[in-house]
Amino acid sequence: MADNEEQTGIVLTEAQQKSRRRRSIAIALALGVLVALFFAVTLVKGPAVLVRPL
Amino acid sequence: MSVIDHNAIELPRISEADVADYVALLKPRVMSLVIFTALVGLVIAPGHFHPVLAFTSLLCIAVGAGASGALNMWYESDIDALMSRTANRPIPRGRITPPEAAAFGMTLAFFSVMTLGILVNWVAGALLAFTIFFYVVIYTMALKRWTAQNIVIGGAAGALPPVVAWAAATGSLSAEPLLLFLIIFFWTPPHFWALALFRSDDYARAGIPMLPVVAGPDTTRLQILLYTIVLVAVAVAPWPLGYFDAAYGVISLALGGGMLALAINVYRHREGREASRATRRLFAFSILYLFALFATLLIEVVVHAVGPSIW
């Protein structure tokens, strides 16, 4: 798109961009914690991680 | 040339919600009490429980409680807007839309239950799912707008976290976590009815049939006193029954005496500033009461583990 061409569609305001970025970082951190949790429990349980009695 | 008239299209709403707004959806103050009572459930459970698994369990229980809070705020956004206590929540303020809150709550509920089930055990996972279901469907959707007994029955959801925690640590259930359940269960009515007494205008405006709105303040005062008597008895009972130590028994008796004195005060003072002060005192002390009771159990376990000789 050329610089002088009028931008169409939704254009986020600065406040919207900032809040979206902060939300994205929070989601990334939450997913990171989830991955770390599964990794840590796998280390703790060892092969027993596959044993899940009801 | 574009065939779309951009002015005619309704643009989707772009969220400006901050992370803090989503944190507020989790009801952090309620969550902190849930974490604390669950911690006590974990600590008093017999046997060794690996710290990583204990942390995982607490995190899942906390997130599950947060999910319940978010789903509660989603369903109650209409009445939250009418009450001064809740008008500042993210949905009434327009920071988060009800569908966004519902999606957030459902996602957290799913992940908390599945993570607890997969990583710890499915007894705890199923109990956490039941707790969320009970709070959201039974309490929020069915009971709250229908009966004055809403918080009596609904109190079961708030009483379950130590049971879930015990189940996480042991994979089963026994008398001790059920005693903790009963303590929180009987603590809930005096605590919330004290709040409802000085917020009854709010509840009446929102059309919520809390006991002071439906049956009047005098009946509520009597019910507070009766439930407090049962609460104090239930809270002391584990000592003579041999489940908890004498230190717990003595502290439970002392704290129970305080609760009872304040409940009698609420019953006696029915009008004016004295009445208002009495209900606010009971409400504030009830939080301290539950915290101190559970803290005593926690301290007992730590003292037994660290220095058995001093006992």
pLDDT, position B310? 52
- Interface residues from chain A to B (CB-CB < 8 Å): 8, 10, 12-13, 15-16, 19-20, 22-23, 26, 34, 37-38, 40-41, 44, 52-54
* Sign of the Cα pseudo-torsion (B228, B229, B235, B236, in order): positive
Q: What is the pTM of this model?
A: 0.91
Cα B240 to Cα B67: distance, rounded to the nearest angstrom: 38
- Beta-carbon contacts of B287 under 8 Å, excluding residues fewer than 6 positions away, are B191
Chain B residues 59-78 with a CB less than 8 Å from chain A: 59
Indicate the residue type of B50.
H
**pLDDT tens, B239-298?**
999 888 899 999 999 999 999 999 999 999 998 899 999 999 999 999 999 999 999 999
The one-character DSSP state at B26 is: T
DSSP, res B172: S
Minimal Cβ distance to B118: which of A8, A52, A54: A52
Q: What distance in Å separates residue B22's CA from the closest CA in chain A?
A: 9
Of A12, A40, A52, the CB nearest to B52: A40
Whether residues B121 and A19 touch (CB distance < 8 A) is answered with no
Select the residue of A26, A38, A41 nearest B53 (Cβ to Cβ). Answer: A41
Restricting to B residues 184-223, those with a Cβ less than 8 Å away from any Cβ of A are: none
Asked if B72 and B103 touch (Cβ cutoff 8 Å), the reply is: no
Its ipTM equals 0.84
Q: Establish if A1 belongs to a structural domain.
A: no
* Residue B9 confidence class, pLDDT cut points 50, 70, 90: low
Enumerate the residues of chain B whose CB falls inside 8 A of the CB of residue A20.
15
**What pLDDT does residue A48 have?**
78
Residue A39 lies in a domain: yes
Alpha helices (H) along chain B: 19-25, 28-44, 51-75, 77-80, 98-119, 122-133, 150-159, 161-170, 175-198, 200-206, 211-214, 217-236, 246-268, 272-306
Closest residue in A to B95 (Cα) is: A19
**Residue B6 pLDDT exceeds 60:** no
Helix (H), strand (E) counts: chain A: 1, 0
* pLDDT value at residue B13: 82
Q: Is residue A41 part of a domain?
A: yes
Please indicate, yes or no, if residue A9 is contained in any of the structural domains: no
pLDDT digits (tens, 9 = 90+) for A7-26: 677 888 899 999 999 999 99
Please tell me if residue B119 touches chain A, with a CB cutoff of 8 Å: yes
- pLDDT at residue B7, rounded to an integer: 61
B285 dihedral zone (left: phi>0; alpha: psi -120 to 50; beta): alpha
Instruction: Quote the pLDDT of residue B219.
Output: 96
All residues of chain A having their beta carbon less than 8 Å from the beta carbon of residue B11 are 10
The answer to whether residue A21 sits within a structural domain is: yes
Q: How many domains does chain A have?
A: 1
Q: Is B259 exposed, middle or buried (0-12, 13-18, 19+ CB in 10 A)?
A: buried
* Domain with A29 in it: 14-50
Report CB contact under 8 Å: B122, A19: no
Which residue among B19, B52, B56 places its CB closest to the CB of A26? B19
Could you tell me if residue A22 is inside a domain? yes
Mutate to test the interface with B, among A14, A37, A42 (most CBs of B within 10 A): A37
Q: What is the pLDDT of residue A3?
A: 53
* pLDDT of the residue at B30: 93
* Residue A7 included in any domain: no
Residues of chain A found within 8 Å of residue B115, distances taken between Cβ atoms: 34, 37
- Is A46 part of any domain? yes
